[in-house]
Structure 1
Amino acid sequence: MTVETVERNRLETCLPAEPLPQPLLPGDPSTMSLGEVREMTDVLFARLRGLEEGTREYSYVRNTLVELNMGLVRHAASRFTHRSESMDDIVQVGVVGLIKAINRFEPERGLEFVTYALPTVSGEIKRHFRDTSWSVHVPRRLQELRIELARASEALHGELGREPSTPELAARMGVPAADVVQAQIAANAYTAGTLETPGSDEDDHSLHDRLGKVEPALETIENILSLKHTVAALSERERTILHLRFVEELTQTQIGQRIGVSQMQVSRLLTNILATLRQALVA
């Protein structure tokens, strides 16, 4: 399920079952001036305070506040256009932050809603990227340390004219060198590569094509080499029994007829031979 679907479902649960007869907005919010939006927001919050939470009217007024302040969400989302995620998904996450701001806003404190809501919306979008952008999950402390590391590296590179060393980075960040190393390792988990990426401009073969593969018969070869001396130490009859059973694939009865013994004797001989070979493998 996409972010857009999740947030659309969340908004739909707040909408009234049937439209209220009178629209609360005088026109299209996108054509209203900033002053008109702020004035209408104050009016809607005053009306919201007089309604019981959970009622159809309360949900309708709150959703009108969301619609009225979508410009604020789009403004906050525009700061993240450099991200690979689609703008529609970022806006949907911002709507969640806007709803949280509406639910928590207290007009009696004298603070403008825009001043209160913008950090809440931006924080929700940042939290979304923090929780979903990393290819491999790492602790939040290392995520924040990676950002500090990037800033320190850029600053020191400009001052020194070269790549800074780990001790220099640790001194600039005020953390142990071990933490710098951890942050450098964590940075590798931010994005994930693909085994289908070509090796170079001249080589069209992917990394997947160049990776070694486990040879299925490798273990068999190792076992044969390990048992070579043990088999050589067997008697000629024992080696003949092994050959007839596992190379020519004769039955115990057929082996007995070939070497002139009973099937029961062949069974006992095979059991002893295999026990000897098994012991040589685990020794």
Structure 2
Amino acid sequence: MQAASGQGRHPHGETPDAQQEFRKLRGLPPGRERERLRGDLVGAWLPMAHRIASRFRDRGENMDDLRQVAAMGLVKAVDRYDPERGKAFETYAVPTVTGELKRHFRDHTWDVHVPRRVQDLRNRVRVARRELAQAEGGPQAPTCADIAAATGLSEQDVLLGMEALGSYSALSLDAQPAGTEGGMTLSERLGTWDSALDIAVDREAVKPGLRKLAERERLILYLRFFRDLPQRSIAERLGISQMHVSRLLRQSCERLRADALQEAA
């Protein structure tokens, strides 16, 4: 076949001119011959797909993965291309493969889920900020207004895009914050839930009732619920029976509950 023999090369020297093969592919019914020709066309144009994938190599993805995604885009281009429309295959295939790679980055490489519109804003802001910073005589640190003027976006959309710049990748909780060495990791800087918050409202609610109790009842409540002493130890400390301590605790709690409900009403 012409594609397999290396003749009839495309003017760029890397991809074959295979209009005849594509016309033949369109006319073949499903079967072994069609699959063979389809595979030959994909293999012949694979260098072009790999070349497109290499444009995305600085975005943190494995190059083999990018080539695989580009190959998937190429297969879609081969299956969908219609040579009768008069457009060269490369003209059709390049945006198809590029679009497949961009979708891969948009849908699979963001650590934080971001709506598609915000992803697009992020890309426009990123490109504009880089171009402004590299332009001769331009600002080294473009402002929000500079980026808005260069992109035609509103300043609000620019701010949204700039916020999304930090959503593309995430730091491990075991990482140290930027600019620190030998310090605490991010996980060690995270706060924890204070269980005392669960009873803060209850404590405030019973304060007026506590003031109305006799000194002995307040002491019993303190020893039982703040010092966590058992009733037997409280009884020995006060010189009364354990049953008496139990009765005083029950009566004091009932009074506090009634006073709190009355205050709430």
Under a length normalisation based on structure 2, what TM-score does the superposition of the two structures give? 0.74
| 1:158-178 deviations in Å (ceiling 9; x for gaps) | 434442332333233222221
In the superposition, relative to structure 1, how do residues 81 and 280 fare at CA in structure 2: closer, same or farther (>3 Å)? Answer: farther
- CA distance in 2 between counterparts of 1:260 and 1:71 reads 90
| 1:109-132 deviations in Å (ceiling 9; x for gaps) | 233323321221122112211222
- CA distance in 2 between counterparts of 1:88 and 1:217 reads 49
What residue in structure 1 maps to residue 6 of structure 2?
32
SS of equivalent residue, structure 1 residue 269 = helix
Percent pairwise identity: 33
In the superposition, relative to structure 1, how do residues 219 and 149 fare at CA in structure 2: closer, same or farther (>3 Å)? Answer: closer
Question: How many pairs were matched up?
Answer: 251
SS of equivalent residue, structure 2 residue 106 = helix
Out of 255, 258, 262, the position equivalent to 2:241 is 258
Out of 26, 32, 51, the position equivalent to 1:49 is 26
What residue in structure 2 maps to residue 189 of structure 1?
167
Per the TM alignment, residue 193 of structure 1 is displaced from its structure 2 partner at its CA by 2.1
- CA distance in 2 between counterparts of 1:207 and 1:166 reads 32
Q: Which amino acid aligns with 2:144?
A: T
Does the Cα contact within 8 Å between 2:52 and 2:70 map onto a contact in 1?
yes
Per the TM alignment, residue 63 of structure 1 is displaced from its structure 2 partner at its CA by 2.2
- CA distance in 2 between counterparts of 1:200 and 1:154 reads 22
RMSD: 3.9
List runs of 5+ in structure 2 lacking aligned partners: none
What residue in structure 2 maps to residue 239 of structure 1?
218
Q: Which amino acid aligns with 1:104?
A: R
Does the Cα contact within 8 Å between 1:241 and 1:270 map onto a contact in 2?
no
Does the Cα contact within 8 Å between 1:195 and 1:206 map onto a contact in 2?
no
- CA distance in 2 between counterparts of 1:239 and 1:224 reads 16
Per the TM alignment, residue 211 of structure 1 is displaced from its structure 2 partner at its CA by 0.8
- CA distance in 2 between counterparts of 1:259 and 1:210 reads 46
Does the Cα contact within 8 Å between 1:153 and 1:164 map onto a contact in 2?
yes
Per the TM alignment, residue 153 of structure 1 is displaced from its structure 2 partner at its CA by 2.7
What residue in structure 2 maps to residue 71 of structure 1?
47
What residue in structure 2 maps to residue 98 of structure 1?
74
What residue in structure 2 maps to residue 20 of structure 1?
none
Alignment map for 1:1-283 (pairs within 5 Å): 32=6, 35=9, 38=16, 41-53=18-30, 55-157=31-133, 158=135, 159-199=137-177, 203-208=181-186, 210-214=188-192, 216=194, 218-219=196-197, 222=200, 226=204, 230-239=209-218, 241-242=220-221, 246=225, 247-250=228-231, 258=241, 269-276=251-258, 279=261
- CA distance in 1 between counterparts of 2:178 and 2:142 reads 28
Q: Which amino acid aligns with 1:133?
A: T
Q: Which amino acid aligns with 1:77?
A: A
Does the Cα contact within 8 Å between 2:231 and 2:242 map onto a contact in 1?
no
- CA distance in 1 between counterparts of 2:114 and 2:178 reads 30
- CA distance in 1 between counterparts of 2:61 and 2:8 reads 28
Does the Cα contact within 8 Å between 1:195 and 1:207 map onto a contact in 2?
yes
- CA distance in 2 between counterparts of 1:262 and 1:127 reads 72
What residue in structure 2 maps to residue 8 of structure 1?
none
- CA distance in 2 between counterparts of 1:122 and 1:248 reads 72
